[in-house]
Structure 1
Amino acid sequence: MSDQLPTDHADRMKRAALALTGLSVGDALGETCFQAHNYEAVLEDPRATARGPWPFTDDTAMALSLYEVLNECGRVDQDRLAQRFAARYKAQPWRGYGGGAHRLLQQIGNGLPWRAAAEVVFPGGSFGNGSAMRIGPLAGYFAEDGYDVIAEQARLSAEVTHLHPEGVAGAIAAAVAGAVAWRNRDRHADEAARHELFDTALAHTPPSLVRAGIERARNLTFDFSTEPVVKLLNHGFMVVPFDTSVEPIVRALGNGSQISCQDTVPFCLWVAASHLHDYERAVAQTIRARGDIDTNCAIVGGIVALAVGESGVPTDWLADREELVV
Structure 2
Amino acid sequence: MTDFGLCMDSLDGLSVGDALGAQFFVPGTTWEDLLDGTAPAGSWPWTDDTEMASVLAAELGRPGAVDQDRLARAFAGRFEPYRGYGGGAVVILRRIREGEPWRVVARDAFGGQGSMGNGAAMRVAPLGAFHAGDTRTAALEAMRSAEVTHAHAEGILGAVAVAVAAAEVGWARLVRHRPEPRELLDAVAGYLVDSQVLDGLRRARGLLGTSVGEAAYELGNGSQVLAQDTVPFALWVAATRLGDYPAAIRACVEAGGDVDTTGAIVGGVVAAFTGRGGIPEAWLAQREPLVGIGNKA
Answer yes or no: same fold by TM over 0.5: yes
Larger Rg: 1
Matched, 1:302 2:268: yes
Partners of 1:197 and 1:46 in 2: CA distance: 34
Structure 1 segment 27-66 matched on structure 2, within 5 A: 27-41=18-32, 45=35, 49-66=39-56
Question: Given the alignment of the two structures, is residue 311 of structure 1 paired with residue 277 of structure 2, yes or no?
Answer: yes
Q: Using the alignment, how far apart are the partners of 1:315 and 1:51 within structure 2?
A: 15
RMSD, aligned α-carbons:
1.6
Q: Which residue of 1 aligns with 2:219?
A: 253
Q: 2:107 aligns with which of 119, 123, 130?
A: 119
* Deviation sequence 1:173-196 (CA, Å, 0-9, x none): 1111111211222343xxx53222
| Number of the residue aligned with 2:199 | 212
User: Which residues in structure 2 correspond to 1:114-263 (within 5 Å)?
Assistant: 114-122=102-110, 123-145=112-134, 147-185=135-173, 186-188=176-178, 192-222=179-209, 230=210, 240=211, 246-263=212-229
Matched, 1:19 2:10: yes
Please give the alpha-carbon distance, in whole angstroms, between the structure 2 residues aligned to 1:279 and 1:312.
6
Give the unaligned 5+ runs of structure 1. Answer: 1-7, 223-229, 231-239, 241-245
Q: Which amino acid aligns with 1:81?
A: L
Q: Is the 8 A contact 1:32 1:39 kept in 2?
A: no
1:148 is displaced (CA, Å) by: 1.9
Whole-Å separation in 1 of the counterparts to 2:39 and 2:142: 33
Identical-residue share of aligned pairs (%) = 46
Query: 1:120 deviation in Å?
Result: 2.2
How far is the alpha carbon of 1:45 from its aligned partner?
Answer: 3.5
Contact 1:279 1:312 in 2 (8 A): yes
Which ranges in structure 2 are unaligned for 5 or more consecutive residues? Answer: none
Measured after TM superposition, the shift of residue 79 of structure 1 is 0.5
Q: Note the C-alpha offset of 1:93.
A: 2.4
Structure 1 residue identity aligned to 2:275: G
Q: Per the alignment, do residues 288 and 320 of structure 1 end up closer, same or farther by CA in structure 2, a change over 3 Å counting? A: same
Higher mean displacement: 33-42 or 125-134: 33-42
What is the CA distance between 1:48 and its match in structure 2? Answer: 5.6
The 2-side partners of 1:46 and 1:23 are apart by 23
Residue 180 of structure 1 contacts residue 196 of structure 1 at CA under 8 Å; is this kept in 2?
no
Query: CA separation in 2, counterparts of 1:25 and 1:77?
Result: 27
Match of residue 227 from structure 1: none
Q: Deviations over 1:209-235 (max 9, x none)?
A: 00000000011113xxxxxxx2xxxxx
Please state which structure has a larger fraction of its residues in helix.
2
Equivalent of 1:266 in 220, 224, 232 = 232
TM-superposed CA distance for 1:47, in Å, is: 5.9
Q: Distance in 2 between matches of 1:282 and 1:49?
A: 19
Equivalent pair of 1:69/1:75 in contact (CA under 8 Å): no
Letter in 2 for 1:69: E
| Structure 1 contact 132–170 (Cα < 8 Å) conserved | yes
Task: Please tell me the residue identity of whatever aligns with 1:299.
Answer: I
Instruction: Give runs of ≥4 in structure 1 deviating > 3 Å.
Output: 39-42, 44-49
Return the letter of the residue paired with 2:163: A
- Structure 1, residues 19-51: CA drift from partner, whole Å, max 9, x if none? 100000000000001123223535x83866412
CA contact (8 A) 1:254 1:264 kept: yes
Instruction: Rate the CA distance shift 1:256–1:139 in 2: closer, same or farther, 3 A.
Output: same
| Whole-Å separation in 2 of the counterparts to 1:307 and 1:48 | 29
Alignment of 1:288 with 2:277, yes or no, is no
2:70 to 56, 80, 83: 80
Secondary structure in 1 aligned to 2:81?
Answer: coil
Moved more, 290-299 or 31-40: 31-40
Which of the numbers 90, 94, 104 marks the counterpart of 2:82? 94
Q: For 1:48-102, what per-residue CA distance to the aligned partner results, in whole angstroms no more than 9, with x for missing partners?
A: 641231110000000011011111234311101101100111xx22110000111
Structure 1, residues 249-288: CA drift from partner, whole Å, max 9, x if none? Answer: 1221000000000000000000001100100010011111
CA distance in 2, matches of 1:155, 1:184: 22
Scaled by the length of structure 2, what TM-score is found? 0.93
